[in-house]
Amino acid sequence: MIKTEEMMLNVGPQHPSTHGVFRLVVKLDGEIITEAQPVIGYLHRGTEKLAENLQYTQIIPYTDRMDYLSAMTNNYVICHAVETMMGIEIPERADFLRVIAMELGRVASHLVWWGTYLLDLGATSPFIYAFREREMIINMLNELSGGRLTFNYMRVGGVKWDAPEGWIQKVKEFIPYMREQLAGYHSLVTGNEIFLNRVKGIGQYTKEDALQYSLSGVNLRCTGVKWDLRKDEPYSIYNRFDFDVPVQESGDAWARYQCRMAEIEESLKILEQAAEQFPEEGEILAKVPKIIKAPKGEAFVRIESPRGEIGCYIYSDGKKEPYRLKFRRPSFYNLQILPKLLKGENIANMIAILGAIDIVLGEVDG
Amino acid sequence: MSGEKDLEQLKREAVAKAKAEAAAKRAAREAGQKPAESAAPKQEETPVEATPAAGSGAGDADDLAKKKAAAAAKAKAAALAKNKREGIADEEPAAEAAAPAPGVPEAGAGDADDLAKKKAAAVAKAKAAAAAKRKAMELAGGADQASEPAATPEAPEAADAGAGGDADDLAKKKAAAVAKAKAAAAAKRKAMELAGGADQAAEPAAEAGGDDAKAKAAAAAKAKAAAAAKAKAAAAAKAKREGGAEDVPAGDDEKAKAIAAAKAKAAAVAAAKAKAAAAKGGAAGAGAAEAKPSPNQPYLDKYVKVIEENMGSEVLEDFYINKLSKDVPTLVVKREAYFKLAQFLKYNELLGFDYLSELHGTDFETHMEIYVHLYSYKNRQSVAFKVKIDRNEPIIESLQPVWAGADWPECEAYDLLGIKFTGHPNLHRIMLGEEWVGYPLRKDYEPYDVEV
Amino acid sequence: MIQEMLQSSPGWFNFIFFFIFGLVLLLVVLGFVTYSILAERKVMGYIQLRHGPNQLGGRFGLLQTVADVLKLLLKEDIIPKMADRPMFILAPVIAFAPSFMVLATIPFTDRFQFADLGVGLLYYVAVSGLTVFGILLGGWASNNKYSLLGGARATAQMISYEIPLVMSVLGVILLSGSLNLNDIVHAQKHGWFILLQPIGFIVFLIASTAELSRTPFDLPESESELVAGYHTEYTGFRWAFFMLAEYVYLFAMTALITILFFGGWMAPFGFLDFIPGAVWFSLKFCVILFLYLWFRSTFPRMRADKLMEFAWKILMPVALANIMLTAIIKSLFF
């Protein structure tokens, strides 16, 4: 009689596929996971505590470092929260710049996901292709904000810098190029039998599970819930643009893959329209007091980041610093379903499932 | 800056309205309470005359004991602080009554009242002398006091009658939706008054007035601050924060006041009206009618109606539209009903909040608060619901069994704020690790390791 | 010449001769490994829009791998405290030795061959199967969970894929009527076996990729799952031995495919005979090698359970069917 025993395996905190310092303690029966326990907090920097002693404008750079793959949306969410509280009207040009920056960020973020996910699955080349396009976006955002990863671009009431000359033209030129590349991605990867084998039916969950576990963004849309805050609770000027919310029904990694790829296209649509309608002239910063003081009270706003619903709660006691700041970080919530998904899967699927959730550890740990 | 001025204007208006409203109500109440009151002074006379400090303290202690046994140990300190404060509180209306103009002085009185309260809690230095003097005066006039407070509220009320009538009309129009809340609030207040004992019996008038005043105290304070002494308001806020630690032991009354003040503060910013609705059923009518109603008001009404129909009117401590937060309907639930209400919100057919968008705690020094933002994908509608919990013993039911998504956020709240969630399957320090000392997001957190 | 010496009576001369010849081959193979690694990096680099090594040794980075090997030699040799020390040391040797042994039987040209064994093909398959012991041993001796998983995966994979690998060449053996690699080459005088055995070739190519643990079958050392698989704990030259074994197998397998399916050193057409066999061999060899490199930079990785399924449920039946088909064709047309 062969006696087998379960093996505890620490995946991470240093592991090639955890996308950062994330640890997963898994119990293995052979290669089958019987139990998984995520351990997070390695990158916890206490952003919320720090923010209690910072003025609102000073908090913005900290938000860059949460979801460092789409720092623009993070910038936006804090500015949006303060603006909502203060009732500030944003100049049109600033709104356009914000939307363009955010959508470029979304495309860049999805590209990174696409590349790293395929790297997780063992395909090395797509990573580099994705980074080629991302590099162009990063360069554009660099021209706009002066930063490549942590932009610190937005301010309460608008944006910090106006678009340099010819920048909108660059965005316009980028769109058809990106579409072309996207078609290339599809022909390279999307139809690949091995790839389909790795993602179809993997990490499947139902709509009910997704809602129960507070999943958001693509992780929710892949189960058939048509929910995009850009569309359903329009903020900024998203209601001016015509775009779809890609939805899939199956709720597996394949559905998430398709959703993200389609979202790149939708973002390009938004970019196209935004670049087209971009106002020639205009202010980029509303008239706001020198020292920003949110009125007393609390506010919770949420917007759509590439990873899902990012929210910002502010309780202000009327000072120039928030009394309490809390970010609803989508990766943090999305990751909760992981132990449930991993039960009974093998190690190879573990990577495929974790990757498909699309987490950024800076955001998970706050 | 002009916007701010408008705000001030609005606030002042709101204050006036609320005051008128309160006055009207007081009149109504007094009519009913005359017998009780006539008896009350007699009762009160003895304690006040004999040992004034103990007298008012005892009355309070009753209240305290009833609502918050945990603070019993500090009752004495509370009593002392309260004694002082009440002295002022009682005395203020008198001054108010004497004042010729109804509006400004009363606002001033409210402000002073609020201030004094805060000061008493903080044992602020600046006005200590004055306060002590006033207190002494008041104590000396103890016998008079018994009858005077009863009379005092009537004076401003009479002066305000015209405005009050106006507001009343407005209030009546809106009454349908708010009536219930009003009744609840009234009942609550009455219960409080009765429990308050002899001392309270004399005070209710002042209390009622004070209550109203309290509710809008901050608003008043702000109005005044803008007009005259901004520094004072700042000092008050500061005093309040500093006194935070003391506020808790100071007991239920103080806490309620602080809460009301905090609430009123938020309200003041929100052009005072939605808040008035929250703080005071009656004033809501005036407030909501005054500003244009929020598009989410029907939702709030619906939620409240459904909740009250099914769970009774006791579960909700408060409800209002949070104008600052994209008009999200906000419910403040009582501690005991928290879990039940959560379940109700999720499983009720009409509400169906199937998605937990956010859960976190906040340390307000006087108390802790859990903020939960829910969303219903069925109805495409959000709600925020909050619960206040004791800061010294932050324990509350876990929502994890209702929404699995509450798992980690609760761990986070436990880790950073020390709120314990009962019934949570795996409550652990998710960010900092089990060996971390202290709860960093608490306002009084001191890093254990000085190097950090 | 070698053949004669093999059959002559043993003596010091023979010994020294073979020793020197072996050494030369070893160096040649090492040279090949060095440059195949470089080729791999260059090919992958260009596929991935970059240049690959281009600093050391001229603008093609010709000395890059040499430098890498030097670095590996100089690296501190770490043996984990809890490792099974003797096994840990022995494992790379066991893994490497067979990879070199199989080279003996491969005819690079009509002259250049060490041992013209009658059962050359069988010898190759049998000896190459030994490597798996080294890998399993290394995985076990490391006392690391990733290593153990990697070792177990490698064992399962190599044993499974050896079967379709052998089955697929049975068609070739049927057609040529011999297990001798020289005979097989000569049997392709009038047509390469890839034309007669296309199914066999495809099965063999897939199975050989799996045998070599290369993408898409690189599960034993799948870096995104098992960190580095069975050699997670190995450093320095011990690690280099595993790598060496891998690349020598790549060399051997490519050579074997050239011989089995592409006519070895023989020119594709008679009139091209004036070009030496060695050139033809290396040309064919390079094409096939490129194929492997191409695979690596294109495919994602298979999943462990699917991999086994693929071997047993698809490749095996296909290979069996191929044998049947070949037998029928052989009896009908030859």
Residue B25 lies inside a defined structural domain of this protein: yes
Contacts of A46 (CB under 8 A, 6+ apart): A366, B440
Tell me which chain B residues have a C-beta less than 8 angstroms from the C-beta of A298: 266, 322, 324-325, 371
Q: How far apart are CA C259 and CA C277, in angstroms?
A: 12
B306 and B171 in one domain? Answer: no
Indicate whether B275 pLDDT > 50.
no
Residue B433 lies inside a defined structural domain of this protein: no
Final residue belonging to a domain, choices B130, B165, B180: B180
Residue B90 lies inside a defined structural domain of this protein: yes
Kindly report the pTM of this predicted structure. Answer: 0.70
Residue B221 lies inside a defined structural domain of this protein: no
Domain that holds residue B128: 7-180
Final residue belonging to a domain, choices B124, B154, B180: B180
Would the CB atoms of B416 and A49 count as touching at under 8 Å? yes
Q: DSSP secondary structure string, B143-212?
A: HHHHHHHHHTTHHHHHHHHHHHHHHHHHHHHHHHHHHHHHHHHHHHHHHHHHHTHHHHHHHHHHHHHHHH
B152 and B11 in one domain? Answer: yes
CATH number, domain containing residue B351: 3.30.460.80
Tell me which chain A residues have a C-beta less than 8 angstroms from the C-beta of C219: 348
Yes or no: say if B191 and B66 are a contact pair by the CB < 8 Å rule: no
- Nearest Cα of chain A lies from the Cα of C276 at a distance, in angstroms, of 37
User: Please, which pLDDT band fits residue B292 given cuts at 50, 70 and 90?
Assistant: low
Strands B395-397 and B381-389 turn out to be unpaired
Instruction: Please state which of the ranges A216-220, B196-200, B297-301, C259-263 shows the lowest mean pLDDT.
Output: B196-200
Residue B98 lies inside a defined structural domain of this protein: yes
Residue of B41, B60, B37 lying closest to B49 (CA atoms): B41
Which residue of A87, A211, A309 is in closest CB contact with B354? A211
Would the CB atoms of A309 and B357 count as touching at under 8 Å? yes
Number of A–B residue contacts, CB under 8 Å: 117
Instruction: Mutation target for A interface from B241, B263, B318, B355: give the one with most A CBs within 10 A.
Output: B355
Would the CB atoms of B357 and A311 count as touching at under 8 Å? yes
pLDDT at C89: 87
B299 and B175 in one domain? Answer: no
- Nearest Cα of chain C lies from the Cα of A193 at a distance, in angstroms, of 10
pLDDT at C121: 85
Would the CB atoms of A346 and C304 count as touching at under 8 Å? yes
Domain count, chain B: 2
B313 and B165 in one domain? Answer: no
Indicate whether C319 pLDDT > 80.
yes
Whether residue C86 lies within 8 A of chain A, CB to CB, comes out as no
- pLDDT digit string, tens, across residues C270-295: 677 777 778 888 888 888 888 888 88
Q: How far apart are CA A98 and CA A274, in angstroms?
A: 10
pLDDT at C231: 81
Indicate whether A116 pLDDT > 80.
yes
SS3 (DSSP) at C17: helix
My answer on whether omega of the bond before C92 falls inside 30° of 0, hence cis, is: no
Which residue of B356, B371, B406 is in closest CB contact with A313? B371
Would the CB atoms of C44 and A132 count as touching at under 8 Å? no
Indicate whether B223 pLDDT > 80.
no
- pLDDT digit string, tens, across residues C172-203: 888 888 888 888 888 887 778 888 888 888 98
Amino acid at B195: A
Residue B242 lies inside a defined structural domain of this protein: no
Q: How many Cβ atoms from other residues are within 10 Å of residue C324's Cβ?
A: 10
- Nearest Cα of chain A lies from the Cα of B384 at a distance, in angstroms, of 9
Residue B50 lies inside a defined structural domain of this protein: yes
pLDDT at B74: 46
Tell me which chain A residues have a C-beta less than 8 angstroms from the C-beta of C298: 123, 125
Indicate whether B187 pLDDT > 50.
no
- pLDDT digit string, tens, across residues B393-429: 888 888 888 888 888 888 888 888 888 888 888 888 8
Would the CB atoms of B326 and A301 count as touching at under 8 Å? yes
Indicate whether A158 pLDDT > 80.
yes
Report for A218-227, C143-152, C188-197, C231-240: range of highest mean pLDDT: A218-227
Question: What is the residue whose two structure tokens read 């294109």?
Answer: C298
Which residue of C47, C223, C304 is in closest CB contact with A348? C304
In the predicted model, what is the mean pLDDT of chain C?
A: 83
Q: Which residues pair with B421 in a beta bridge?
A: B396
Tell me which chain A residues have a C-beta less than 8 angstroms from the C-beta of B371: 298, 300, 313, 326
pLDDT at A2: 67
Which residue of C216, C297, C305 is in closest CB contact with A194? C216
pLDDT at B365: 83
Would the CB atoms of A41 and B270 count as touching at under 8 Å? no
Instruction: Mutation target for C interface from A6, A114, A194, A346: give the one with most C CBs within 10 A.
Output: A194
Final residue belonging to a domain, choices B180, B197, B222: B180
Residue B152 lies inside a defined structural domain of this protein: yes
Residue of A284, A273, A291 lying closest to A90 (CA atoms): A284
Q: What is the mean pLDDT of residues A139-149?
A: 89
Tell me which chain A residues have a C-beta less than 8 angstroms from the C-beta of C305: 346, 348
